[in-house]
Chain A
Amino acid sequence: MELLQQILSTGLSTVTDVLPIVIVIFGFQLLVLRQKIPKLKRVLIGFVYVLIGLTLFLVGLEVTLFPIGKLMAQQLTDPVFIRQAAGVVSGSLQWDDYAWVYLFAAAIGFATTVAEPSLIAVAIKAQQVSGGSITVWGLRVSVAFGVAIGIALGAFRIVTGTPLHYYIIAGYVVVLIQTLYAPRMIIALAYDSGGVTTSTVTVPLVAALGLGLASNIPGRSALIDGFGLIAFASLFPIMSVMGYAQLGEWRARRQQQSDNGEINEDD
């Protein structure tokens, strides 16, 4: 019964999320373009599928994964646990005593990103457009790696309390340098993957981690230091996706060279 109620309320909020999009699309379609939508019935059914899918997905997360994730985030950032794990009995904690927190941050970043529906959407589109040279899984895993590194580094930042913008600006510099060397076709996609990673699944869990960390470490304000993890999660995938493309290109080139080598030997 409770589950049903949850499904209903989540469904309602999904509908309000989708409603403005439907209004904009149909409004322009009818008033400006003045034409019927091709395969209207199919599209409408598709919209219903999206609604049902998102609702079930969110409720499923709400019932199973979110409570566990949030609980773990709380327990892992609890000073008592950290002292135990690090074997520090007294005195103040150093940044390297938080090893479990970084590991958890990376794991949760990776897991939530692989499950992110909007990333799946972009990956499907990228595979279609690139004619299969970018695979859905390749993109998803490389983005997830980027988020994992980003969140772990973000947790490190909260622990040490260094200013956020140093990291972000340094990250921008790396992105700019990579942009010069990465294959041209990946650049736009890489920039996009920064934006899509942080959505329905990632944000609630990562926010819980950030707030838990910031409120348990002395001298950090949950309101001010708790923010910023999402910024890390949207910056690092840009690097990892460009890295993925660079790796792919490098391997293709090496393949070619060894192929050429074989041909030469045949000669």
Chain B
Amino acid sequence: MLVILGLTFFIRGLEQALFPIGESIAYAFARKGNVFWLLLFAFALGFGTTIAEPALTAVTAKAADIAALDGHISTDKAAKANYALGLRLTVAFSVGVAIVAGVLRILRGWPIQYFIMSGYAGVVIMTFFAPPEIIGIAYDSGGVTTSTVTVPLVTALGVGLANSIKGRNPMIDGFGLIAFASLTPMIFVMAYGMII
């Protein structure tokens, strides 16, 4: 009962708040024509929503346990908390970068395949160099970054941008922001595991 009621409310709110606001912001930025602010907004949106994501907090805490178990960091609480926070910042930063890259792609109309392919290549190459215990976490962190509120907003932003720029097809160019946001954290987290 609660589940159905909750979903109904969520979808109503989606159509009333998240979709229109994502699109209206996209139109406003397109009219303003200032790429710098648009990219800064994209970064803030990616970074801000990811750093607050509860699922990410849980995953990074577990990752710190693993690192301590392997003797990479000392087992006391402060070191673990430090490691977990560093990991969270890394993932949030990478999502910010991802949304910026995705928005740039929509602006320029570059085909998405090239990005995804080079992203995959990056993941594969990093896999060979990263410490084995971080690999599982890195792969999973790609999946947990995108929360239920971020997804509709980011999707609406992408579609709105593609709609308001001449010569962009919202179906081909508008989607794909989420894909970026789930790809870059894998690369960044493995890099984090290598540096620490």
Contacts and interface: CB of A to CB of B under 8 A. Distances in A.
Given A13-B54, A60-B3, A231-B139, A121 B155 contact: yes
A118 to B, nearest CB: 4
Contacts of A54: 6, 10, 148-149
Interface in A94-127: 115, 117-118, 120-122, 124-126
A192 B3 contact: no
Interface residues of B, number: 84
A46 B13 contact: yes
B41 A130 contact: no
A205 to B, nearest CB: 13
Nearest to A200: B148
A50 B13 contact: yes
B170 A53 contact: no
A60 B136 contact: no
Interface in B1-30: 1-21, 24-25, 28-29
Interface string B131-147: 01101110110111111
A57 B136 contact: no
B196 to A, nearest CB: 17
A137 to B, nearest CB: 14
Nearest to B36: A32
Interface residues of A, number: 87
Interface in B150-173: 150-153, 155-156, 159, 169-173
A21 interface: yes
Given A195-B182, A230-B143, A124 B14 contact: yes
Q: Is the interface of B mostly helix, strand, loop or mixed?
A: helix
A63 B2 contact: yes
A188 B16 CA distance: 25
B84 interface: no
Given A38-B24, A168-B139, A187-B113, A125 B155 contact: yes
A55 to B, nearest CB: 7
Contact of B149 (A21, A176, A197, A228): A21
B174 to A, nearest CB: 6
Contacts of A194: 179, 182
Given A13-B54, A28-B25, A191-B116, A46 B144 contact: no
B175 interface: yes
Nearest to A234: B143
B35 interface: no
B18 A121 contact: yes
A224 B66 contact: yes
Given A164-B135, A189-B175, A49 B25 contact: no
A87 interface: no
Nearest to A224: B133
27 contacts: A21-B150, A33-B28, A50-B10, A50-B13, A53-B9, A54-B6, A60-B1, A117-B10, A117-B148, A118-B148, A118-B152, A121-B155, A122-B151, A124-B11, A130-B171, A172-B124, A176-B117, A176-B120, A179-B113, A191-B175, A192-B179, A195-B145, A195-B182, A230-B144, A231-B136, A231-B143, A234-B143
Interface of A: 13, 16-21, 23-25, 27-29, 32-33, 35, 37-39, 42-61, 63-65, 115, 117-118, 120-122, 124-126, 129-130, 164-165, 168-169, 172, 175-176, 179, 184-185, 187-189, 191-192, 194-200, 203, 223-231, 233-234
Given A192-B177, A196-B178, A227-B139, 4 more contacts: A51-B13, A121-B151, A125-B156, A188-B175
